[in-house]
């Protein structure tokens, strides 16, 4: 399995989803070799449920592996830091390696006989994985290394998450001739809030076309990939994400403000609709000046929105937290009454489920996958700031109703567990393999 994020060091939406999914799959008896964008060339052979937290690690280089087993670490985090899985992406690829990589790609391409359409897809991916940006370079490096995993590990099926891992998945499929499943957590259209980067579209398209099966995290995303990427509906399987409730988490309410507290939690970037949150705050504060709005997270729109909130004279009722660690995220969730997800385009959106687990009443954008799986939350178009403001005012004026919906939401979230989603993935694995074996037989 190729993925770009995995806790504890990276805990974005993709990381959280992969964690829950892998854990549930291990419980079903499926064995997973996990490949992450680590600085060191390693992989993680996960065999038992507890392995998602212990993260057993194997170095590709036997010499390094010998050194590594002698080391002791106080916790998983320290171990992952040692093998270079950092919170923020960094460049470590030299230019000559890029050239090498391109050469190797063309060699592979010429050495094998491929059918015409496949050649086209391969070119589409390879030609667009070119660029000097840190991220593109990192993907190139990751893909280079995939060759080793593809030829040295034993596996039946390849599972790759999001575009960053599609080139690796494609390479592995090409070398091993094993079936490939790509998993769409977000497309470039979602992330950019507009057309986005052409190269990424091409890689996404190539990955989806090259794959045997495509998993979409919601109906919303399935629609998107059908209409935008023209992917054959027969190969798309919708499997909603779920939410893992950590037993150790303290879900007790602990207020910061006496007055009603309304939370935005996520990247402060166009996709997440943070500017709509500011507009909603202005409308609510005109009626309820006692309300407190918290915008938690960081992002490229942060500076602009700080100035906007000040220009609207939202006083000290609209506050910014900056970057929050895990503990601090829990702290603001425990202190909030209402959670708002005003995303412009959200393939799934795991954060509202987390907020609901704390009994926080959720208002979620209709343009999201998560709105397909929950009932005890308000679903409003992201652009309908009047309706959002009215809803918040109503909840402020009726705290009992707010609490009741929060409690119902909490109970509902406990039912949205990964076991069910993992069972669907397991069945998809089985059917894909069956089709593969059938084809092999021909």
Partner 1 sequence: MLHVVFYFQVHQPYRLRHVNVMDVGSGRSLFDENLNRSVMHKVTQKCYLPTNALLLDLIKRHEGRFKIAYSITGTAYEQFAFYAPEVIESFEKLVETGCVELLGETYFHSLSALYDTNEFLDQVMMHKQLMKDKFGYDTVTFRNTELIYQDSISDLIFEVEGYKTILTEGVDRILQWRSPLYAYKNYSKDITLLLKYYQLADDIAFRFSNRDWPEYPLTVDKFVNWIDHLTLSETGKRNQFLNLFMDYETFGEHQWAESGIFDFMKHFPAKALERGNIGFANPREALHLANYQQESISFPDAVSWADEQRDLSAWLENDIQRNAIETLYELYEKIRRKGDEHLLREARLLSTSDHFYYMCTKYFQDGDVHKYFSPYDSPEQAYIYFINALADLEERLT
**Residue numbers 242-281 binding partner 1 by CB under 8 A:** 256-258
Please check whether residue 333 is in contact with residue 250, taking contact to mean a CB–CB distance below 8 angstroms: no
Tell me the closest approach of the beta carbon of residue 299 to partner 1, in angstroms.
13
Sequence-distant (≥ 6) Cβ neighbours of residue 161 within 8 angstroms: 1, 2, 3, 4, 14, 18, 182, 183, 185
Q: Which stretch binds partner 1 (CB under 8 A): 71-79, 83-91, 298-306, 409-417?
A: 298-306
Q: Taking contact as CB under 8 A, which single stretch among the options 5-13, 125-133, 314-322, 412-420 is the one that binds partner 1? A: 314-322
Could you give the CA distance from residue 404 to residue 163 in angstroms, rounded to a whole number? 40
**Please, what is the minimum distance in Å from the beta carbon of residue 338 to partner 1?**
16
Residue 300 burial by CB count (10 A; 0-12/13-18/19+): exposed, middle or buried? exposed
* Interface residue with partner 1, options 52, 85, 98, 294 (CB under 8 A): 294
Pull the structure tokens for residue 225.
Answer: 């990939």
Extract the tokens encoding 319. Answer: 């506050």
Cα–Cα distance measured from residue 140 to residue 129, given in angstroms and rounded to the nearest whole number: 7
* Contact flag: residue 319 with partner 1 (CB under 8 A): yes
- Do residues 91 and 134 lie in contact, with contact meaning Cβ atoms separated by under 8 Å? yes
401 binds partner 1 (CB under 8 A): no
Among 302, 347, 352, 406, indicate the residue that binds partner 1 (CB under 8 A): 302
Cβ–Cβ under 8 Å, residues 257 and 335: yes
Member of 311, 375, 440, 442 binding partner 1 (CB under 8 A): 311
Looking at the Cβ atoms of 28 and 254, the one nearer to partner 1 is 254
Among 59, 320, 383, 436, binds partner 1 (CB under 8 A): 320
Do 153 and 43 meet the contact criterion of CB atoms below 8 Å apart?
yes
Judged by CB under 8 A, the number of residues near partner 1 is: 26
Cβ nearer to partner 1, comparing 167 with 299: 299
Cα 387 from Cα 278, distance rounded (Å): 14
Residues from 325 through 384 that contact partner 1 (CB under 8 A): 328, 331-332
Beta carbon nearer to partner 1, 3 or 336: 336
Minimum Å gap between C-beta 332 and partner 1 is 7
Quick one: 95 or 311, whose CB is closer to partner 1? 311
The sheet that has 58-59: what strands, in order across it?
32-34, 42-46, 58-59
Signed CA dihedral, 30, 27, 163, 435: sign only = positive
Among 315, 326, 394, 414, binds partner 1 (CB under 8 A): 315
**Cβ closest to partner 1, residue 109 vs residue 331:** 331
Produce one character per residue of 347-376: b if its CB has 16 or more CB atoms within 10 Å, e if not: bbbbbbbbbbbbbbbbbbbebbbbbbbbeb
Candidate ranges 10-18, 303-311, 338-346, 417-425; the one touching partner 1 (CB under 8 A):
303-311
Closest distance of CB 295 from partner 1, Å: 9
In the set 23, 137, 173, 292, which binds partner 1 (CB under 8 A)?
Answer: 292
Nearer to partner 1, 216 or 263 (CB): 263
Nearer to partner 1, 102 or 312 (CB): 312
Least distance from partner 1 to the Cβ atom of residue 397, Å = 19
**Rounded-to-integer distance, Cα 122 and Cα 144, Å:** 15
Q: What is the DSSP string of 181-238?
A: EEEES--HHHHHSSS--HHHHHHHHHHHHHSSEEEESSHHHHHHHHHHH---GGGEEE
309 part of the interface to partner 1, by CB under 8 A: yes
In the complex, the smallest distance separating the C-beta of residue 361 from partner 1, rounded to whole angstroms, is: 20
CB 367 within 8 A of CB 276: no
Contact residues: partner 1, CB under 8 A: 256-258, 292, 294, 296, 302-303, 306-311, 313-317, 319-322, 328, 331-332
């Amino acid at each position: 399995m190729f993925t770009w994020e995995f806790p504890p060091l990276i805990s974005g939406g993709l990381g959280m989803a992969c964690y829950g999914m892998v854990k549930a799959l291990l419980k079903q008896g499926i064995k997973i070799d996990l490949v992450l964008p680590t600085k060191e060339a390693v992989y993680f052979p996960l065999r038992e449920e507890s392995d998602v937290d212990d993260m057993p690690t194997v170095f590709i280089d036997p010499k390094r592996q010998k050194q590594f087993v002698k080391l002791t670490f106080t916790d998983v985090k320290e171990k992952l830091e040692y093998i270079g899985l950092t919170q923020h992406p960094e460049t470590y690829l030299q230019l000559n390696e890029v050239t090498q990589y391109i050469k190797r790609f063309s060699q592979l391409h010429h050495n094998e006989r491929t059918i015409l359409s496949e050649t086209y897809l391969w070119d589409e991916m390879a030609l667009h994985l070119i660029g000097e940006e840190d991220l593109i370079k990192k993907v190139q490096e990751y893909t280079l290394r995939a060759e080793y995993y593809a030829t040295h590990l034993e596996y039946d099926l390849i599972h790759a998450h999001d575009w960053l891992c599609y080139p690796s998945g494609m390479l592995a499929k090409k070398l091993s001739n094993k079936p490939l499943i790509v998993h769409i957590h977000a497309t470039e259209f979602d992330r950019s809030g507009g057309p986005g980067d052409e190269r990424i579209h091409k890689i996404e398209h190539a990955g989806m076309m090259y794959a045997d099966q495509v998993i979409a995290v919601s109906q919303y995303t399935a629609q998107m990939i059908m209409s935008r990427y023209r992917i054959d509906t027969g190969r798309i399987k919708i499997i909603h994400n779920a939410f893992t409730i950590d037993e150790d988490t303290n879900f007790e309410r602990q207020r910061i403000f006496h007055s009603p507290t309304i939370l935005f939690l996520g990247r402060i970037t166009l996709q997440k609709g943070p500017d709509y949150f500011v507009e909603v705050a202005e409308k609510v504060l005109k009626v309820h000046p006692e309300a407190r709005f918290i915008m938690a997270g960081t992002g490229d729109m942060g500076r602009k929105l700080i100035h906007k909130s000040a220009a609207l004279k939202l006083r000290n009722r609209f506050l910014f937290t900056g970057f929050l660690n895990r503990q601090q995220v829990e702290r603001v969730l425990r202190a909030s009454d209402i959670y708002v997800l005003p995303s412009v385009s959200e393939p799934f959106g795991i954060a509202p489920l987390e907020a609901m687990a704390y009994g926080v009443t959720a208002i979620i954008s209709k343009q999201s996958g998560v709105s397909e799986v929950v009932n005890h939350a308000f679903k409003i178009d992201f652009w309908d700031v009047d309706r959002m403001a009215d809803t918040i005012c109503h909840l402020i004026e009726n705290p009992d109703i707010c609490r009741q919906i929060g409690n119902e939401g909490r109970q509902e979230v406990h039912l949205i567990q990964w076991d069910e989603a993992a069972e669907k993935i397991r069945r998809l694995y089985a059917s894909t393999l069956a089709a593969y074996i059938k084809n092999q037989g021909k």
